[in-house]
Amino acid sequence: MRLIDENGTQVGIIGIREALALAEERGFDLVEVAPNAVPPVCRLLDYGKFRYEQSQKEREARRNQKQADLKQIRLMPKTAEHDITTKANQAKKFLLQGDKVKFNVRFRGREMAHPDIGRKMLEDIAEQLRDIAVVEQKPLLEGRVLSLLLAPNPRVLKAAQQAQKERAKLARTQEASEERLAAAATPEDDEDLDEETDLQGDEFDDEADLQDEMLDDEELDADEFDDEDEQDLSPRLKK
């Protein structure tokens, strides 16, 4: 087999026993990445980490992949030319976003005798949009409804998918920026809270010291009062 080490450097063509020994020595798994090559190609890697990264890439690809929606536009055989142009412009916006568009011409009563009118209307719309759309289903009559299905051409679809990826990337960037701002603001809030707590503690200590001083003053007054009483009683005791 041809072996590639964990750094992407080709070790060369070696036997499987030697490759397994090298993988065990370096603490990696021996993974076959190109079984159809001659000789087969194997790599030294952390298989658990490799599978995790692959799953993350697949999830990201599914997230960026735009699911095409089917937009439907209703018409009537008597729809005016101006309204048809408006409907075609509306369909153009949908197609540029990567969505499919289905035009439905509904016939009523005696209008069923002239399906060619609706067919001509749909063909004209397809011609107006041929620069950005391909006909996925030609005008098909089902009951009283004549339908035309248009899909964005490969160039437009690729551009729509790229725009979707850019929007997703921008959203992730903004989300990460908001998370960084929130993380940066948290320590400051904690510091403000600590300062406020310390300030309140200092105020409490000041009040306690003030109360202690007042208590000491009261004790001093009591001592003075006791001294005065002793002075008043001493003459009486002598008598």
Angle between helices 81-96 and 115-128 (to 10 degrees): 50
- Give the residue among 128, 144, 141 at the shortest CA–CA distance from 86: 128
User: Quick count: other Cβ atoms within 10 Å of Cβ 126?
Assistant: 18
Q: Can you tell me whether residue 179 is helix, strand or coil?
A: helix
In the chain, ranges of CATH 3.10.20.80 domains: 2-46
Using an 8 Å Cβ cutoff, are 44 and 26 in contact?
yes
Q: What is the pLDDT along the chain (239 residues), one digit of tens a residue?
A: 898 888 888 888 998 889 899 888 889 998 888 888 888 999 998 888 888 888 887 777 666 555 668 999 999 999 998 999 999 999 999 999 999 999 999 999 888 888 999 999 999 999 999 999 999 999 999 889 999 999 999 999 889 888 888 887 887 788 777 777 777 755 544 455 455 555 455 554 555 555 555 545 544 444 444 444 444 444 444 44
The CATH fold of domain 70-156: Translation Initiation Factor IF3 (3.30.110)
φ, ψ dihedrals at 146, nearest 5°: -105, 120
As annotated, the residues of the chain forming the CATH 3.30.110.10 domain(s) are 70-156
Q: 2-46 falls under which CATH superfamily?
A: Translation initiation factor 3 (IF-3), N-terminal domain (3.10.20.80)
Q: What end-to-end distance do the CA atoms of the chain give, in Å?
A: 127
From the CB of residue 151, how many other CB atoms can be counted at a distance below 10 Å?
20
Strands 100-106 and 10-13: unpaired
Overall pTM > 0.75: no
